[in-house]
Amino acid sequence: MNKKTRIADLPDFDFSEHLDSDQAMAEYLTVILEENDPALLAAALGDIARARGMSEIAKASGITREALYKALRPNAQPRFDTISRVCAALGVKLIAQVVHA
């Protein structure tokens, strides 16, 4: 027989557990940027920061750990300055590309 599983009984998926290399982090961020969703970008940067160590990223960015958790949570809308400082601390840069219709 098939046993039904309730969604509420499933464990939370933590993407940060799968970001085990700089290449994986860069590819993840590239895919997220293609979605053009600021809240998703904030959450993805949070995933990457957790994978690297939030305390380390907080120290490197000059932003408190608590403020980073708040700014990089899902549906957050951090200022560009925050995004820029976190990207610098992570060792990644955002790149603009021409969009063709």
16 part of a folded domain: no
- Phi, psi (degrees; rounded to nearest 5) at 78: -70, 155
10 part of a folded domain: no
Q: With 70 as the cut, is the pLDDT of residue 11 above it?
A: no
- Return the closest-CA partner of residue 44 out of 67, 19, 22, 23: 19
95 part of a folded domain: no
Residue numbers of the domain that contains 41? 21-90
For the full predicted model, state whether its pTM sits above 0.85.
no
Task: List pLDDT tens digits, range 20-41.
Answer: 888 888 889 999 998 888 888 9
Overall domain count for the chain? 1
**Is-contact 63 85, C-beta < 8 A?**
yes
Tokens representing 47 are 């995933």
Question: What letter would DSSP give residue 15?
Answer: G
